[in-house]
Amino acid sequence: MESELRKFQEFALQAISSAQSSADLEHVRVQYLGRKGQMSELMKGLKDVTSEQRKVIGQVANEVKKKVEAAFSEREKTLEVGERKAREDEEWIDISAPGTASAQGHLTLVTQAIEEIAEIFSQIGFVQVRHPEIDWDWYSFESLNMPKTHPARDEWETFFIADGDKVQTGEKGKVVLTPHSSNGQVREMERGRMPIRAININKCYRRQSTVRHSPMFHQFEGWLIGENVNITHMKGVFDYFVKQFFGPDRETRLRPYHFRFTEPSFEIDISAEKGKEDSKLYKDGWLELGGAGMMHPNVLRAGGLDPEKYTGIAFGWGLERTMMMKSGMNIDDIRLLYKNDMRFLEQF
Ligand code: FA5
């Protein structure tokens, strides 16, 4: 039995050292040292020997078992280290390598401009408001001192909402796509909160399409209404806005003009960026950005205010045109903004 144990040791050590993976080694363990393995089988023979022999054989068996078990743990460690190393090599990632960024969108140029303009006006106390973009004739024209048949209305080249040939009419007149953000003037006064210092940024619609005109565009329109508001406040607001938005080297000029809802009225032009004076966008180096003026007493009355007590300034500018005038913009056709050409949009 002793020689069998020695043989067992020899074979077991041999098998352990030839195992090439932890899985192989586990098989070897089960085969030699497992509950039904060879060692257990051998030990069953103990019951057939004399008690003296059993003592000696027991010692040998213990010695053999210890040796085999030691060889087993040794091999187990070696194999594990090798396997971990192989796994590390295989699964290694370079955490300093640049990742593959997923495509990320961004706000459109127009939305960026809306946010920037609203922010600049908020710094001087103008709150952003919104009024309907589909409105009644009353708010778009009549309350703005333009009676139904007045020729001044023709300038706006308005889209009316029609059902077939029949223009839709509600309690305050025909339904129109607002041609300007001025439809909010009387609506804001009707809210009844004085003084008013608000900026209305809205979509507007006109039957126009040229490098300077888009059928749908935005205006931002400011109102400052209260006691003792005068034209110097208007100048102060423009100076602040232009400096913040365009920088110190661009100029604005006021041209006397006529709007039915302001008296006196002006158009505000901005000078071309240096070196771009010949762009097709400009007329003699200037581009009109918007209109402005002191609110007409009839408009204040339409909004329920006493023109003897209150005065107000109003200005309405084209948002896209204002944005296009920013240095470095280089957009010479306003309609590019709405063509949804990714090659264009991705540049901003
Ligand atoms: C008006 O719309 C007046 N409601 C502005 C105003 C408000 C005057 C308050 C006085 C007091 P006007 O039609 O000039 O004015 O348009 C104002 C600006 O809107 C223009 O200067 C231009 O910058 C822009 N604009 C007008 N039509 C278009 C268009 N089709 N596409 C792009 N921008 C336009």
Q: pLDDT digits over 142-176, tens only?
A: 999 999 888 888 878 889 999 998 999 988 999 99
Pocket test for ligand 1, best of 321, 334, 336 (most atoms within 8 A of CB): 321
Confidence of residue 330 (pLDDT cuts 50, 70, 90): confident
Picking from 221, 249, 231, 235, the residue whose alpha carbon sits closest to that of residue 315 is: 221
Contacts of 125 (CB under 8 A, 6+ apart): 197
Q: pLDDT digits over 88-122, tens only?
A: 888 888 888 888 888 888 999 999 999 999 999 99
Q: Cβ distance 121 to 128 under 8 Å?
A: yes
Picking from 29, 31, 20, the residue whose alpha carbon sits closest to that of residue 82 is: 20
Burial (CB count <10 Å: 0-12, 13-18, 19+), residue 297? middle
| Dihedral Cα 108, 112, 113, 114, nearest 10 deg | 100
Average pLDDT, the chain: 91
| Residue 56 clears pLDDT 90, i.e. is over it | no
CA of residue 218 to ligand 1 center, whole Å: 9
Beta-strand runs (E) in the chain: 127-129, 134-136, 159-160, 162-163, 166-167, 169-170, 173-177, 196-205, 216-226, 252-259, 262-271, 286-295, 311-318
Beta pairing class for 169-170 and 127-129: unpaired
| Residue 141 clears pLDDT 80, i.e. is over it | yes
Instruction: Indicate if ligand 1 lies below 6 Å from the C-beta of 295.
Output: no
Between these two residues, 272 and 300, which has the higher pLDDT value? 300
Query: What is the spatial order of strands in the sheet that 196-205 belongs to?
Result: 127-129, 196-205, 216-226, 311-318, 286-295, 262-271, 252-259
Q: pLDDT digits over 181-240, tens only?
A: 999 999 999 999 999 999 999 999 999 999 999 999 999 999 999 999 999 999 889 889
Picking from 291, 293, 119, 128, the residue whose alpha carbon sits closest to that of residue 198 is: 128
Confidence of residue 80 (pLDDT cuts 50, 70, 90): very high
Query: Which ligand 1 atom lies nearest to the CA of residue 268?
Result: 21
Q: pLDDT digits over 7-28, tens only?
A: 989 999 999 999 999 999 999 9
CA of residue 249 to ligand 1 center, whole Å: 24
Average pLDDT over residues 297-309: 98
Instruction: Indicate if ligand 1 lies below 6 Å from the C-beta of 316.
Output: yes
| Residue 46 clears pLDDT 90, i.e. is over it | no
